[in-house]
Chains A and B, each alone.
Chain A
Amino acid sequence: MPDTIKQSEVADPEPPAIPGTTIFDGRQAMKGYALNKMCYSFNAAAARDDFVADEEAYMAAFGLNEDQKAAVRDRNVLDMIACGGNVYYLAKLAGILGLSVQDIGAQQTGMTTEEFKQKLLGAAR
């Protein structure tokens, strides 16, 4: 193998896992395509109105699978990520639901929003 290959960063098929972290890679992107596409549509105000008016019809129109639909019905962010959701697109859904990034942080870590904010303040020390 030439040195130039050895010295460069090569794609590692199984890097050591980072706890509590899902790397949004091609596999996740394939899995979550319908869910993320629906969330991307929420850039348009009319799309947000359509979702609010009839969530089930809106999810069906984008072809979400049953796990993705259940995660959306439950407003469960960790489940959405497990179904391939990407947080940049999910943030647009969270906006419709009136959830801030501190709210979704709190939900994912099993804290109240106030506790989560205190945790963030604690990082300064």
Chain B
Amino acid sequence: MAQVIGGITTSHIPAIAIAIANKSYDDPYWKPFFDAYPPVHEWLADEKPDVAVVIYNDHGLAFFLDQMPTFAIGAAHEYRNEDEGWGIPTIAPFAGNPLMSWHIIEQMVADEFDITSCQEMAVDHGFTVPMQLFWPDRGPDMPTVIPIVANTVQHPIPTVKRCYDFGRALGKAIRSYPEDVKVVVLGTGGLSHQLDGERAGFINKEFDLMCMEKLVSDPQSLTSITRHELIRQAGTQGSELIMWMMMRGALSDEVTVLNQNYHIPISNTGAGTMLLACND
């Protein structure tokens, strides 16, 4: 049976893609951020997961406001990165795992989470930046991918509680897959940031650190945060915390923190990285 071995969170800001393209790893601005990733590379090299479930939000590449799914799951053989319009170099496609995608979709809908299934889905920086951060060399051990998109673009976005419950159902769906595959779940985006309005540049270190702590010790307690309160505390784009909640729900109740980092600022954002191993 499939096994969830752990979860990794990271911010997925487009500026990181530019920094990777420019190899700015030792630049004084970037070093405190990139230094969080070698321990993740070592863990992935040891564990060699077969599948990465990548939870992110689309920023206007795959989806527009004409049709905006609340939760979409990719079921494609291949996921292509395409031009987002403002200068991130596009990178090579990623191999999908459509049979496992369909298993997850079927199990999720049976569990009353109604899913938009996507046999074609372009992936933007929300997907590619985490993949580049975690698998910079894209070597022979590169996992196949299953992208999952949550709507953070247009309100009503799903509630924090719904996202955590989604993750619980996702974990159950993964573990019921009959193949012996090792699965890592990526929760991407965040942490606090706001790009728009007179409050642009808002970052809330205290709230971010509280979320990182509770995500490990008591994720259920975060589900009482309303969406409005989340925007107030984390900024308009800080709503991306919901993808971390989806990831956390898919892991075992008890997890071990193998590595974590929090750094301000990367671009306009409080950037968080966590490597969590399942204890079951």
Contacts and interface: CB of A to CB of B under 8 A. Distances in A.
Nearest to B88: A95
Interface stretch (B46-54, B171-179, B198-206): B198-206
Nearest to A77: B196
B155 A25 contact: yes
B85 A29 contact: no
B86 A94 contact: yes
Interface residues of A, number: 51
B106 interface: no
Interface of A, helix, strand, loop or mixed by DSSP: helix
Interface stretch (A13-21, A53-61, A63-71): A13-21
Interface of B, helix, strand, loop or mixed by DSSP: loop
B67 interface: no
B267 A101 contact: yes
Contact of B232 (A18, A33, A95, A120): A18
Interface of B: 15, 59-61, 64-66, 82-87, 153-156, 159, 161, 194-201, 203, 205, 226-228, 231-232, 236-237, 263-265, 267-268, 270
Given A21-B198, A24-B154, A78-B198, 11 more contacts: A16-B228, A22-B196, A23-B155, A24-B153, A25-B155, A78-B197, A91-B85, A92-B84, A94-B86, A109-B201, A116-B201
11 contacts: A21-B199, A21-B236, A22-B196, A23-B236, A29-B65, A37-B64, A43-B82, A87-B196, A120-B201, A123-B205, A123-B270
